[in-house]
Structures are given as structure tokens and as C-alpha cells.
Structure 1
Amino acid sequence: MSDMERLHRIKYMIQQRKCVPIDDFLDELEISKATFKRDLEYLRSRLKASIVYDRFLNGYKFEFPDEIDKIEMPGLWFSEKEATALVLMQHLLSSLDQSGLIGPHIEPLTAIIDGILGQSETSAKELRKRIKVLGMGSRKNSIENFSEIGAALLKRNRLVIKYFAKGKGEETEREISPQRLIFYRENWYLDAYCHLRNDLRSFAVDGIRSAVLTNAKAQEVSDKDCHEHFAESYGIFSGKATQRAKLRFTPEHARWVAGEHWHGQQVGSFDKEGYYILEFDFNQDPELVMDILKHGSGVEVLGPATLKKRIKDELTKSLDKY
């Protein structure tokens, strides 16, 4: 943590909590008592911060809270538009994280942003209140495993994980070389080279029951190979594309689908009757089948024959239940 960042944190901790014991500063900032005293003196003498020690409350506070916004902290400065964009970015990031993986780690950012905005703090809080992000289909994940995964990605080391595959209902122990972390449809996934399968795999983070960081260096996979394996086919558990889907949407559904992103290399066009034809490559079809079924009678599968049969079988199963 830089000296300037530490000064900001001291100010914002007092601003947020009103009165802060010295041990809290030492623990959270990971500094010595001498360093804290030097920072405190700098804030008082150079930045004119009215920070005093309250013996009754046993902590440091602002003697004149109304003057907090007048303290000119060195560092970042933003225009009104930039400040608004900063608030939006932080709020959307925390709102999208319905699974609670990164929320606890970015909470301090909220206080820092509000402190940087100073007099605009009220507007920032009002802006957050007026913006709602509704996450659908997110699953609860493990914060501890998420931290281990992040460390492995940064250090480029391997992980030993216990992974529960929901589709098969089986748990396996694997050594993997993490490549990248993906936030897809409200959930987190880890793309990695699996040394058990000797191939690239995508793991749902909520399926990782335990993760242990090792000292072994990760096997690197080029961006090109990752793209070919994960991005050329449909869905998160894609693999290299082996088939091509061709879907025909009714004019009513076409108004929505024509503006949607189904695949990075999709091809779409309208016919003379207003129907929308959508084509893209895929490999595994479970995710694709679910997306097609959402449109009900508003979509027709033109190909391939195997996909048409899968959709027909699923519809038959649904009818048999009723």
C-alpha cells in the first residue's frame, strides 16, 4: 500500500466509523504505531485535518466533522461525469456479483469512492439507490476457493481441486492449470488445463469443493488455443465445434432475437416473410437446448437432425408429465 493510499484510508476509516481505535488502524493497514503517528501528523499539519484523540471513546475522530469535505487529499480527482461513471462502475460490479464472491473485497472501494467524491457523496448514494441489477440464476459460491483460484491465476501455479460435477453427480480430485476466470450468466467459471483429462476444461466455481495452491508451475495454453476451444462453439462447456445449428424464429420472436448475442460468430438474416434465421457452430447441446425451449413455438430447428431430435424428445418428456 502506497503512502498516499494509506492517508486516504485513514481519513475514510474515520469518516465512515466516526471514531476508530488505534489498533484498528494498525491491523487493517498493516503498519506500525510509529508509521501511524507519522501519517497522523502529516494529515494534521499538511492537510489541516482536525483529527483528535477521544479518551472517552478510546479512538481517533474528526473534531469538526462538517469540515471533512474541505480536506484536500492528494491523489485522484474526477470531473462530475467521471465521478458518476466511477460510482456506476462500482455499483454495477457489486450488483452483478449476486453469488457474493467479490462483494466483500470491493466494499472498501465504496467508502474510498465516496471520500474521493467529497460533497458529491449524497448524490453517489442517491445514484446507487436508483439503479437496480436483478441477477437471475446465480448460485452461491465459496469465497475461500475463489481467493485460491485468484492466487493461482496471478502466480501462474497449479491447483489441486476436488470437483463435483452436477451433471454426473460425481466428485473427482484433479490437478489443474488455471488459464482464466469467466463470469457467465450470473455465475463464475474457471477455464483450465486438466492434467487428469489431459485437455482443456471449464469448471463451475461453485462445483469446486476445495482448492489447494501448489508450487508447481501452471501449464500455459495460448490465447489462440483457448479461443478455439471455448469461444468457437456455443455455451460455456463448449469444446471445439463439431456441428452447425440453424434456427428459424417467428416475426414476433425475431424482434427480440435479432438484437441478442448468441454466439461470437453467429450469422443472422431476415427472410421475405419476416422470419429470422440464426446460424452458429456448437458442440455440446444441453445449454443450447434450454435456450431454444425458452422460445417455445416461436422457434423452429432447421438443423442439424440430431438437434431437432433432442428438442422433440424434450418436448415429448414435458407432455408425458401432464
Structure 2
Amino acid sequence: MEQLNRALALHRLLLEYRYPVSRAVILERLACSASTFKRLLELLRDSYQAPIVWDRGARGYKYDTTDGRFTLPGVWLSESEAFALLMANRLLQDVQPGLQQQGLARLQARIGDLLGPQWQGQADRLSVESIGRQYVAPELFLPLVQALFARRQLRFVYHATLHEALPRQVSPQRLCWYRDNWYLLAWCHERAALRLFALSRITEPLALDEVACERESGELDALFESGYGIFAGSALQQAELRFDPSAAPWVRDVQWHREQCQTIEPSGHIRLRFPYADQRELVRDLLRFSGEVEVQAPPSLRHAVISAMRAGLKKHGVEEAVVQPVSQ
């Protein structure tokens, strides 16, 4: 880091002087030896491609550019700015594999140039793990994005289940990244309503000439404000849950819902209360805490969780609840 700081000081010195800077001035201003100065020159020239040359006539060093100025890539980034760029670059690589060959490769190269070698070397210290990701072919992803930004209607075949494939014509509104998977929020012209489509279930996309109908941003935002998870709806119910103390590390500091109400009892039990519109995703999340959570309300959610637990026990040939809590 000290060497980098001195290299930065040399860079500023070359920009500060209107004329080539002599070796004597550089050694004095940087308070360094001739050998250290030589290493700084090599660092700037080799690692940052800085065009520093020796002007024989003026007997000094300068930048060999038209205006005598040069910008060091990445050097001016703060740690927080460099972290943001590093994370963005990592997400570009991992969120949707395969897009590097479809236009993002040059963008990633430009980010790398901006970061410079001193920050690029830190990229391996960041890791993005996508667990449970549903595969979306790159050749499918790009046409969807193009239709979204071109504001054109889209036709595709949607595989809602293994045995059901229906043609849909939609007006794309938003592309959503949720729990490591891509979803398309669109106005379905057949249903005359907003619908959410998993990209992994879309095939044969075709952009149409018809202009997409626009929905208000407030309507799109409101679709997910109250519901739980990716499933939206307007008919809300209140989930009331009570978790055992053993589940506290995985429940206490987690935001289940933006309107949740959490209470910690003297015994260590945690009570959670929040609204939901569709119970499917909520039931799956609660099954992770089988044996450590009690659904106290509403009865429909309690029954759904009990039925799912019984089905799981039956699948394993177990007639009685002998399941060990997950966190134990």
C-alpha cells in the first residue's frame, strides 16, 4: 500500500507541473531513493499502462499525451466504490450465466479497466452462491429483455405445470430477480390482469410489433407490498406464528415481511405476525422449521402446514411425528 501511495504521489506530481519534472525534484518531493523511484516507474508503466517518458530536451519526466495528462484506472476509487463495482461485476457473472457471450463481456471488461489491477486482484475475495437457481437459457433471456425495453408485446408458450403448456400474449412490465430466480411481471392480455411468469418455464418467445400496454408504477409496486414473497394478491390474511427458542438464530433477525410484528417472550419463544395473500410460499418456508414452529392462525394456514407435514411423514413411512427439529 505504501508503494501504491508513492506511485499516486508521483502521478499527481506529473500532473501538477506544467513542464517535465526532473529526477532530482521527484526524489526530493517523494522522499525516496533512485531505486525506489525506478520501481515506481515500472509499477505505473507495467501495471497501469501509464505513458511516462523521459524528455531529453527538458531533462525531465512527463506523460506522453497531447495535453500531458493521464487518468489512472481504478486508483481514484474509494474502498466502498471499489466494493460496489467488484460486487456488480461478480453478479454479472453469476446471476445469469452465459450472458457474457451476448453483450456483457465488453461491459465486464470496461468495469475491469475502471477497477484497475490493484482492485481486480481482490475479486476472488467476493463470492456469490446461487442455490436452487432454475436454469434460463441465455438465448431465451436476451429476447425477453429486448422486448421489455423496446416496449413491445411478447408471445410465448408457458409451462405452468409438467402437463400444461399454454400460449400467452403479454405486455412485459418488469423483470424480477427473486430468491436466485428470474420472473417476468407482465400484463396478460388473455386474463386481462397482471401475472408473474417464471422465466425457466417460458419457451418459444417471440417479440411482436404491437406496442406494449403500460401499467402505472404504483399498481406494480402495490402488487407485492402486502403479500408474502413472490405471490401477490389483494385478499389478505394475518399469519400468527410462534417459534421455539432453538429457531431464534434463524428467525429473530430475519425480515419475513415489511409489515411484520415480532415479540420475544421471556421464555425465548418468538411470536411473528404479518399479512399474506397466498400461502404456497409461506407453507414451504415454515416446513423448514418443522418441529420448531406452531401456526396459531389462521386455521387454513395451520391446516395446510399440518397436511404437508403428515404427507412428508407418510412419504417416509412414519405414522407418528418423530421428526427432529432442523436446527438441532
TM-score, length basis structure 1: 0.71
1:79 aligns with 2:77: yes
Deviation, structure 1 residue 103? 4.5
- Aligned twin of 2:291: 297
1:155 aligns with 2:143: no
Distance 1:74 1:124 in 2: 12
Deviation, structure 1 residue 116? 2.8
Matches within 5 A, 1:82-121: 84-94=82-92, 96-97=94-95, 99-100=96-97, 102-104=99-101, 105-118=103-116, 121=117
Deviation, structure 1 residue 234? 0.9
Using the TM superposition, name which of 139-148 and 175-184 deviates more. Answer: 139-148
Cα deviation code 1:3-50 (max 9, x no counterpart)? xxxxxxxxxxxxxxxxxxxxxxxxxxxxxxxxxxxxxxxxxxxxxxxx
Distance 1:268 1:220 in 2: 38
Preserved CA contact (<8 Å) 1:145 1:211:
yes
Deviation, structure 1 residue 208? 0.8
- Aligned twin of 1:56: none
Q: 2:180 aligns with which of 178, 186, 189?
A: 186
Preserved CA contact (<8 Å) 1:156 1:218:
yes
Q: 2:240 aligns with which of 220, 243, 246?
A: 246
Letter in 1 for 2:97: G
- Aligned twin of 1:4: none
Aligned residues: 253
- Aligned twin of 2:170: 176
- Aligned twin of 1:139: 134
1:233 aligns with 2:227: yes
Query: What SS does the corresponding residue of 2:190 show, helix, strand or coil?
Result: coil
Letter in 1 for 2:239: A
- Aligned twin of 2:19: none
Cα deviation code 1:60-93 (max 9, x no counterpart)? xxxxx94862143699873342562244223331
Preserved CA contact (<8 Å) 1:232 1:241:
no
Letter in 1 for 2:121: E
Distance 1:172 1:289 in 2: 27
Assess, with a 3 A threshold, how the Cα gap between structure 1 residues 206 and 228 changes in structure 2: closer, same or farther: same
Letter in 2 for 1:154: F
Preserved CA contact (<8 Å) 1:176 1:193:
yes
Assess, with a 3 A threshold, how the Cα gap between structure 1 residues 90 and 150 changes in structure 2: closer, same or farther: same
Query: What SS does the corresponding residue of 2:143 show, helix, strand or coil?
Result: helix
- Aligned twin of 1:265: 259
Preserved CA contact (<8 Å) 1:162 1:208:
yes
1:308 aligns with 2:302: yes
Query: What SS does the corresponding residue of 1:272 show, helix, strand or coil?
Result: coil
Using the TM superposition, name which of 289-298 and 275-284 deviates more. Answer: 275-284
Assess, with a 3 A threshold, how the Cα gap between structure 1 residues 231 and 145 changes in structure 2: closer, same or farther: farther
Assess, with a 3 A threshold, how the Cα gap between structure 1 residues 147 and 305 changes in structure 2: closer, same or farther: same
- Aligned twin of 1:46: none
State the superposition RMSD in angstroms.
2.4
Preserved CA contact (<8 Å) 2:87 2:126:
no
Assess, with a 3 A threshold, how the Cα gap between structure 1 residues 67 and 262 changes in structure 2: closer, same or farther: closer
Distance 1:285 1:67 in 2: 56
Letter in 1 for 2:50: K
Preserved CA contact (<8 Å) 2:182 2:199:
yes
Structure 2: unaligned runs, 5 residues or longer: 1-44, 52-69, 318-328
Deviation, structure 1 residue 257? 1.0
1:70 aligns with 2:50: yes
Letter in 2 for 1:302: Q
TM-score, length basis structure 2: 0.70
- Aligned twin of 1:10: none
Assess, with a 3 A threshold, how the Cα gap between structure 1 residues 284 and 103 changes in structure 2: closer, same or farther: farther
Letter in 2 for 1:187: N
